[in-house]
């Protein structure tokens, strides 16, 4: 397409479906001439990835009483370090560099400098004789104020179906997009499903990841309401309701449209047959299709609507009741359609699939949230009949069991036997992710293989530690270390939130940013991906250690895309850190 910034000439061969082994065959291509008409936008991959400073810190900064650790790439270079006041040039603290910890994922043996005793507000940097200098950082009480506002406002910037005014969106303002009715796939029927949030760098809207994002934000408000304000800078600001709840409601109203009126099942997504070109949202002209109902979407919908029923009750009782009724209808659909588990794209649909192989964890999560919201023992009895060991753990869009664990273990009333089983599974998961951090020099909870969206895993892990703190008083130090990692204390030296830190992503795979050649602030990018799942990454990052497989290039969608469900756990994580939990 004319708007494709990275066109490729290729032939797709083979089948997506498991149709058995094909006999050996040969494909002949003859008499082909390929002419490049305009190569002015050609990008020559930079295969010389420059390593960042030898000293890495949280580039956004630290509050005065935070634990502050600088990470040195090479434990053999120095024994002492200085903390330097940037404004005066004076050394305010000298400390010892200690430890020698292997970080296999980074290919380094790192050491640490603890400067927690530096509490005076100001701008600083770390320096050592052989390691050089770190990027600058700030110490101050409100050091996270601006970034927290921007990561919350990111969801407003992802709105679909309404005007984004210049007074709120600045250069990213646009007219209402995707407002026409969509066709229910495989039929001639149409339905209004306008609204909601664009999912990621594309303009699709998907119930499964949307439910995760909405749940994260609602739980963040439920657990840490004191940090959410009514002045984020969206049209609803100043209406007496925390802006995060106004924003989530915008997504929930769309999700309610995605529920089938007759059956209570929930359609999986609404997209075109293919991804949009590189255009602004209001310039997208592809026909929209509503893809079939899936149990995974229906279960996620039921769970998040049950949470919404709790959270919105004090602000809008009628909306709360509407959400609860929708959740119950969705659960009833799941129970009468037990064989409708995961989801696969039809053959002519190429947009995000968000597939799944089982709906057991979604059903479990829905039951737990409905039980927490209503206290109805019927839900607890259904939970007792399930094999807890078969629930897929996690806080991702595919494995949602941990949401269910948290809901049940924070319910007002619990069955002792069931609570013990759930608590055991919850604690095993926490021990599992902690084991990664204890073996990693950068305290990463990802492991030795960095998948697509590794930064989500880091944020999710920090979120899980904060949940454990609320359940059993778990120390939150590792949660803070995940935040430090995301904001610069990592092997790439990037602060992975756009617009913040000395080194942050500037070339995101986000269509409005690509059109305007200007990256929107407050977006968490996917981060390192050692599976090298796009052509640019394969060309540039091959051979690098897993945690360094990151490229700040808009062509690298597997490293540098953004999504609503990567920002959402970061909101929860930062909200918990801001409250001191």
Give bridge partners of residue 340 from the DSSP assignment: none
What is the spatial distance between Cα 116 and Cα 313, in angstroms, rounded to a whole number?
Answer: 42
- Which strand (E) or helix (H) includes residue 73? none
Nearest to 461 by CA among 430, 488, 428: 430
Give the length of the chain: 581
Residue 552: active-site member: yes
User: Rounded to an integer, what distance in angstroms lies between the CA atom of residue 412 and that of residue 375?
Assistant: 8
| Active-site annotation holder among 199, 202, 223, 300 | 202
Reference 143, options 251, 34, 59, 249; nearest CA is 59
Give me the sign of the Cα torsion angle 239, 245, 251, 254: negative
Task: Please pick, among 150, 247, 300, 552, the residue that the annotation labels catalytic.
Answer: 552
Closest CA to 51 of 106, 110, 102, 114: 106
Maximal C-alpha separation, the chain: 74
Angle at 60 between CA 55 and CA 61, to 5 degrees: 75
Do the Cβ atoms of 393 and 429 come closer than 8 Å? Answer: yes
Residue 36 burial (10 A CB sphere; 0-12, 13-18, 19+): exposed
Gyration radius (Cα) of the chain, Å: 24
Are 430 and 464 in contact by the 8 Å Cβ rule? The answer is: yes
With tokens 């069991």, the residue in question is 401
To 10 degrees, the CA torsion angle through 521, 234, 576, 508? -20
- For 341: left if phi > 0, alpha if psi spans -120 to 50, otherwise beta; the answer is alpha
Q: Could you identify the residue written with the tokens 């001191």?
A: 580
Query: Cα separation of 164 and 70, whole Å?
Result: 40
Strands 132-133 and 55-56 turn out to be unpaired
* CA atoms lying within 13 Å on the CB side of residue 392: 15
Closest CA to 496 of 520, 525, 518: 525
Indicate which residue of 174, 198, 509, 510 is catalytic: 509
Q: Which two tokens stand for residue 516?
A: 């305007």
Instruction: Extract the tokens encoding 313.
Output: 């009750």
Burial of 156-191, coded b for 16+ CB within 10 Å and e otherwise, reads bbbbbbbebeeebbeebbbeebbeeebbbbeeeeeb
Neighbouring CB atoms inside 10 A of 519's CB total 22
Angle, CA of 339, 16 and 560, to the nearest 5°:
100
Catalytic site includes residue 246: no
CA distances from 339 to 134, 333, 342, 358 (A): 55, 11, 9, 9
* DSSP summary character for residue 130: T
DSSP state of 81: E
Residue 510: active-site member: no
Catalytic residue list: 202, 509, 552, 561
């Amino acid at each position: 397409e004319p708007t494709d910034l990275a066109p490729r000439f290729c032939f797709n061969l083979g089948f997506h479906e498991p149709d058995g082994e094909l006999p050996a065959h040969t494909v002949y291509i003859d008499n082909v001439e390929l002419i490049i008409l305009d190569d002015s936008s050609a990008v020559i991959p930079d295969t010389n990835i420059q390593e960042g400073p030898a000293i890495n810190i949280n580039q956004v900064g630290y509050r005065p009483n935070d634990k502050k650790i600088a990470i040195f790439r090479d434990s053999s270079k120095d024994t002492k370090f200085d903390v330097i006041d940037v404004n005066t040039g004076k050394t305010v603290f000298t400390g010892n560099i200690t430890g020698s910890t292997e970080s296999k994922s980074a290919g380094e043996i790192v050491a640490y400098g603890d400067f927690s005793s530096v509490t005076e507000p100001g701008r600083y940097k770390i320096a050592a004789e052989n390691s050089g200098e770190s990027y600058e950082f700030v110490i101050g009480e409100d050091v996270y104020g601006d970034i927290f506002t921007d990561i919350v406002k990111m969801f407003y910037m992802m709105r679909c179906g309404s005007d984004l005014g210049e007074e709120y969106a600045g250069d990213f303002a646009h007219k209402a997009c995707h407002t026409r009715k969509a066709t229910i796939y495989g039929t001639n029927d149409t339905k209004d499903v306008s609204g909601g949030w664009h999912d990621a760098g594309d303009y699709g809207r998907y119930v499964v990841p949307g439910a995760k994002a909405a749940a994260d934000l609602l739980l963040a408000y439920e657990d840490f309401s004191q940090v959410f304000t009514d002045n984020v800078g969206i049209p609803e600001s100043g209406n007496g309701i925390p802006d995060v709840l106004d924003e989530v409601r915008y997504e929930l109203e769309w999700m309610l449209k995605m529920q089938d009126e007759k059956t209570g099942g929930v359609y999986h997504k609404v997209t075109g047959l293919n991804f949009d070109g590189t255009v602004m949202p209001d310039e997208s002209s592809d026909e929209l299709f509503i893809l079939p109902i899936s149990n995974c979407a229906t279960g996620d919908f039921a769970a998040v609507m049950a949470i919404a029923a709790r959270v919105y009750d004090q602000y809008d009782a009628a909306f709360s009741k509407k959400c609860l009724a929708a959740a119950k209808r969705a659960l009833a659909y799941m129970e009468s359609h037990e064989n409708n588990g995961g989801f696969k794209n039809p053959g002519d649909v190429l947009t995000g699939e968000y597939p799944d192989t089982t709906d057991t964890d979604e059903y479990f999560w829905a039951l737990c949230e409905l039980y927490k919201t209503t206290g109805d023992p019927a839900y607890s009895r259904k939970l007792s009949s399930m094999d807890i060991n078969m629930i897929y753990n996690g806080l991702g869009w595919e494995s949602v069991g941990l949401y269910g664990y948290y809901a049940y273990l924070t319910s007002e009333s619990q069955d002792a036997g069931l609570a013990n089983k759930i608590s055991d599974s919850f604690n095993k998961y926490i021990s599992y992710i902690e084991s990664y951090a204890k073996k990693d020099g950068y305290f990463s909870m990802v492991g030795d293989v960095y998948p697509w969206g590794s930064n989500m895993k880091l944020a999710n892990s920090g979120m899980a530690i904060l949940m454990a703190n609320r359940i059993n008083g778990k120390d939150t130090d590792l949660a803070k270390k995940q935040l430090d990692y995301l904001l610069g204390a990592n092997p790439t030296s990037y602060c992975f939130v756009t617009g913040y830190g000395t080194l942050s992503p500037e070339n995101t795979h986000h269509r409005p940013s690509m059109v305007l050649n200007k990256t929107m602030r407050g977006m968490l990018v996917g981060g390192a991906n050692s599976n090298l799942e796009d052509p640019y990454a394969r060309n540039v990052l091959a051979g690098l250690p897993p945690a360094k497989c990151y490229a700040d290039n808009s062509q690298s969608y597997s490293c540098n895309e953004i999504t609503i469900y990567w920002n959402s756990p970061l909101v929860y994580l930062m909200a918990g850190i801001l409250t001191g939990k």
